[in-house]
Amino acid sequence: MRLLPVLLLATALTLVADEHAAPASKAKAKPQPQEHAASATPDAHGAVPAADGPDSPSAALAELAAGNGRFVAGKRVRTLDTAHDAAMRAALVGGQAPFAVVITCSDSRVADALLFDQEAGRLFTIREAGNAPDLQGIASAEYAAEHLGSKLIVVMGHTSCGAVKAIREANGKPLPGNLWALQAGMSGLLESTPHDPNEDTKAHLARLEEANAKRQAQAILDRSTLLHELVASEKIWIVPALYNLASGKVQFFKPVSLAAAAPAHH
C-alpha cells in the first residue's frame, strides 16, 4: 500500500499546481495521506481501509453530496487525475474498502462514479434497470456492508427513467420476454402512486421515479436481516435519492427507518 500515499500526495501537488484546480476549501476534502497510511492492512476479506474514506454514515453522505456538488459545478477533482491511474490501480490490488454502496439504474446516462466524483475503490455499485435490486443485488449490498465496511447504501432513481415509463405504460399487462421480472421487482409502484387527474404524464412519471427510489430503499431493508441489524445499530444508513439528468444534481431523501420496516425474513 505504499503507493497510495504517493498517489494522493502527487494528486494533491498536481492540484496545487493546476491553475484550474478547485479552491482551497474543496481541496481540503482530501486529507493528508500520512494520517491513515499506517493502518492500510488487508483483513481476511481483502478489505483495506481507505486512505481518506468517511468513517460514518453521515460523513459518507456528506462526501457523496460534496462530490455531486463538484460535478454540478463542473469542478470535479477526484476523477480528473488521469496521470496517476497506474498508481491508483496498484494501490487497490491488495483490497478495497468502498465507503458507499450505490444501487442505481442501468441507464447509461447515470454515471455514478462521475456524478459523485469518486475514483476506483470508493463506490460499490449495483445497477439494474429501475434501480430495483433482486435478491442477488441485495446480497451484493450485504457483502459490501458486512465485509467491506461500507457505511451508506444509496438507492438512486433518476429523471426520464425508461424502466419506470415502461411499467407505467404496461399498466399491469405483462411486458415481453423476461421483462416480467422487472415488473415483479417494481410491483405495487403504480398502486402506491396513482395518477392524479390534475397532473400530466410528465408530472406523474416524476412522482413515480421518486416513489420507486423510496420504495426500493425500504424494500431492501425489509428483505435483509443483516442490513436490518446494521441499520438498527446505526452502522449504516439506507438513503433514497433521485438524480436529475438535466442539472446533474442528486436529491437525497431521509434515510429509511426501521419504524416503517416490516420484520425481515430469510
Extract the C-alpha cell encoding 230: 446494521
Closer residue to Zn ion, CB minimum distance, 46 or 188: 188
Among positions 54-93, residues that touch Zn ion (CB under 5 A) are: none
Three-state DSSP class for 103? strand
Closer residue to Zn ion, CB minimum distance, 107 or 119: 107
Beta strands in the chain (DSSP E): 100-104, 123-127, 152-158, 237-243, 250-252
Closer residue to Zn ion, CB minimum distance, 40 or 161: 161
167 touches Zn ion (CB under 5 A): no
Could you tell me the smallest distance in angstroms from the CB atom of residue 229 to Zn ion? 30
Could you say which of 107, 112, 117, 119 contacts Zn ion (CB under 5 A)?
A: 107
DSSP 96: -
105 touches Zn ion (CB under 5 A): yes
Burial 180-216 (b: 16+ CB within 10 A, else e): eebbebbeebbeebebeeeeeeeebbbbbbbbbbbbb
Binding part of the chain for Zn ion, among 30-38, 118-126, 157-165, 219-227 by CB under 5 A, reads: 157-165
> Kind and range of the H or E element at 198?
none
Could you say which of 8, 50, 161, 230 contacts Zn ion (CB under 5 A)?
A: 161
- Rounded Cα distance between 112 and 127, Å, is 10
Report the side by side order of strands in the sheet with 100-104.
123-127, 100-104, 152-158, 237-243, 250-252
Closer residue to Zn ion, CB minimum distance, 52 or 107: 107
239 touches Zn ion (CB under 5 A): no
State the number of binding residues for Zn ion (CB under 5 A).
4
DSSP 258: G
Could you tell me the smallest distance in angstroms from the CB atom of residue 109 to Zn ion? 8
Which residues are near Zn ion by CB under 5 A?
105, 107, 161, 163
